[in-house]
Structure 1
Amino acid sequence: VKRFQEKLRAGDPVSFLLTHGGETLVNSQVYILTLEVSYDQGAPESKRYRQYTLTLQEAF
């Protein structure tokens, strides 16, 4: 499982290249991508930031 974390804003383009052991993974392999979005509810609205966590998992 690999985790990618980056601050994003609405409309930002998102792209990624899947690699394993230095080799690009082929399209025939199946993966599960889970995107979790969270933010600090205790902060004032103008200072809130969202955290995006993308989890990559091999599907067996």
Structure 2
Amino acid sequence: MKRPEVTIEDFKKQAAKEGWNPTPQTLELVGYLIDAMERAYTRGYANGLADGRTEGQEVMK
């Protein structure tokens, strides 16, 4: 699975483009989600999701 290059600034720009002004709480939540996805890609979890594996299934190498 290709790692998306997304930042909180990208989110803010897209929200502004769509005429939406997210609250500080929304921006904080989006930041947490971006961090969580970054950890998932760093640790290889996202690859399992892309292959259709569920949580806990090991990757055979």
- Same-fold call, TM cutoff 0.5: no
Looking at secondary structure, tell me which structure has more strand per residue: 1
Per the normalisation by structure 2, the TM-score is 0.28
Looking at secondary structure, tell me which structure has more helix per residue: 2
Per the normalisation by structure 1, the TM-score is 0.28
Higher relative contact order (CA 8 A, sep 6+): 1
